[in-house]
Structures are given as structure tokens and as C-alpha cells.
Amino acid sequence: MSDKADIYTRVTKEILAVLEGEHNEVARMATISCLLHEAFEDRIWTGFYIVDPEKSEELVVGPYQGTLGCLRIPFGKGVCGTAAAELVTQVVEDVHDFPGHIACDSRSVSEIVVPVRNDRGELIAVLDIDSDKPAMFDTTDREALEHLVIQVFTSGT
């Protein structure tokens, strides 16, 4: 199996190639969810929670791959809500130690949640990846995923 950084390099190229010229946000999120989920083992959920424009400070589930996700998460709740409220990537080795964690799937153990901004710097979504194994995410994931969402959702980069 290739090194994790190599897989990110390959899958990022693939995502950017597939999405060239496609500006629809649902299409972008669906493509990223699919290709990231398929590129790695030991992941039970890969997808997006979108900032709901009709509700104040609430995320609603967007395109994803994996088991059933909760529909809505208020800002500040769980790992996704914390990433949205603080605008900072969350890397959690064991969600059982994370206060207020939302267990959409009881098998979830470790996760990473990356804030997604548009070209005006506004939060539009979070990218959430969950594993059923502990400590599956580290700095390599954080850097690769932060770079990916900037490339895809921030025009001119």
C-alpha cells in the first residue's frame, strides 16, 4: 500500500481533473466525497455538512459516502459543529473523549473535520471524515485536506 501522502497527491490530482470547469457546489462535494472515500481503507463516512442559509448557525447534511449521517448539527455541537464555530480543523483520535460528540454511527472512533470557505472567506461547509479505528488522522490528513478544499472551493488558487 502506498504512503498516505502519496495517496493524497494522487487523489487530489484526480479530483481536480474531474472537476475542471465544474462550478456546481453539490457536484464538487459529491465528487470529493466519492473519490476520497474510495481512496482509503478504514473509513466509514466521508462527506460534507453544509451551512444552512435558512437557519442561523446550523449545518445540514450534504453529499456523502458511508453509513447514515445525522441530518442537522448546530454550530458548537460535536466535532463538526466545533469546526464550524471555531473555523479550525479538528483532529480527534477518539471521539469518546470529545465532549458533546454526536454519534451518528456508534462505530465511529476517530475523525477529522475541516472547515470549507468560499472565495470571500465565508464558511460554506465542513468536510467530515470518520473511521472505526482510533487515531487514523494526523497532520498529513489535515494538510492535504485543507489544501484540497482551498483548491476546489476558493477560486483563483
What residues line the site for ligand SME (CB under 6 A)?
A: 45, 69-70, 73, 78-80, 101-102, 104-105, 108, 111, 128, 130
Minimum Å distance from CB 1 to ligand SME?
25
Rank residues 32 and 73 by Cβ distance to ligand SME and give the closer one: 73
Minimum Å distance from CB 64 to ligand SME?
7
Backbone φ and ψ for 131, nearest 5 degrees, come out as -125, 155
Minimum Å distance from CB 103 to ligand SME?
7
Give CA torsion, residues 32, 37, 112, 85, to 10 deg: 40
Rank residues 128 and 141 by Cβ distance to ligand SME and give the closer one: 128
Closest C-alpha to 89, from 46, 53, 138, 56? 138
Rank residues 104 and 144 by Cβ distance to ligand SME and give the closer one: 104
DSSP sequence for 86-150: HTS-EEES-GGGSTT---SSTT--EEEEEEEE-TTS-EEEEEEEEESSTT---HHHHHHHHHHHH
Rank residues 5 and 76 by Cβ distance to ligand SME and give the closer one: 76
Q: How far is 43 from 108, CA to CA, in rounded Å?
A: 9
